[in-house]
């Protein structure tokens, strides 16, 4: 399974922007119901894309500057970073097949 790890304002540059592999950042919050619904979907993505991507969780309440920098207005928001750049964004709960369609063409 793709490694799931937490990022914050201290390690975001190194873990996401400088990552050799594409990284899906899950902008989330502990109080967010749809975020909890999305968690198992994100875990399944991690299993299916193991070795291709890394998955990072970012708590928007603890990291407001990153949420503002990437204009995250609602959670959950999944953002795919490739070569340090955000290349795809999905906001709100989405089923796994829809997420795979959005992210897959950036991963081949």
The set of catalytic residues is: 32, 35
- The single-letter DSSP state of residue 20 is S
Among 48, 58, 44, 54, residue whose Cα is nearest residue 20? 54
Tokens 């399974």 belong to which residue?
1
Sign of the C-alpha dihedral computed for residues 86, 88, 91 and 94 taken in this order: negative
Separation CA 89–CA 104 (nearest Å): 13
């Amino acid at each position: 399974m793709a490694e799931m790890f937490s990022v914050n304002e201290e390690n975001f540059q190194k873990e996401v922007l400088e990552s050799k592999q594409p990284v899906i950042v899950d902008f989330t919050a502990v109080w967010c119901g749809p975020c909890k619904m999305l968690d198992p979907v994100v875990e399944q993505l991690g299993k299916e894309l193991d070795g291709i991507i890394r998955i990072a969780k970012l708590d928007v309440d603890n990291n407001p500057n990153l949420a503002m920098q990437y204009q995250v207005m609602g959670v959950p928001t999944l953002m795919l970073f490739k070569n340090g750049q955000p290349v795809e964004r999905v906001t709100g709960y989405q089923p796994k097949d829809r997420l795979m369609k959005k992210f897959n063409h950036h991963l081949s």
